[in-house]
Amino acid sequence: MTPTIRDIAEAANVSTAAVSYVINGKPGVSDRTRRKILRIMREMNYRPNAQARGLATRRTEMLGLMIPDITDPFYVNIVSGVEAEANRLGYTLNLCTTHGDSERERNVAEILTSRLVDGVIVMAYRLTPAELRELSEGHVPIVMIDDPEAAGQLPSIIVNNVALGRTAATYLLKLGHRRIGFIHGVEGSS
Instruction: Give the model confidence (pLDDT) of 126-158 as tens digits.
Output: 777 777 777 777 778 888 888 877 777 788 888
**Can you list the positions of beta strands (E) in the chain?**
62-67, 92-97, 119-122, 142-145, 156-157
Domains in the chain with CATH codes = 5-48 (1.10.260.40), 60-157 (3.40.50.2300)
| Pairwise CA distance, residues 105 & 127, whole Å | 7
CA atoms in the 13 A half-sphere facing the CB of 182: 8
For CA atoms 93, 96, 102, 104, the dihedral sign is negative
- The per-residue pLDDT for 176 is 96
Task: State mean pLDDT over 27-51.
Answer: 88
Mean per-residue pLDDT, 100-119? 83
User: What is the rounded distance in angstroms from the CA atom of residue 41 to the CA atom of residue 162?
Assistant: 57
* pLDDT of 188: 53
- Cβ contacts of 27 within 8 Å, gap of 6 or more: 21
Report the DSSP beta bridge partners of residue 4: none
Give dist(CA 84, CA 93) in Å, integer: 9
Give me the mean pLDDT over the 111-134 stretch: 80
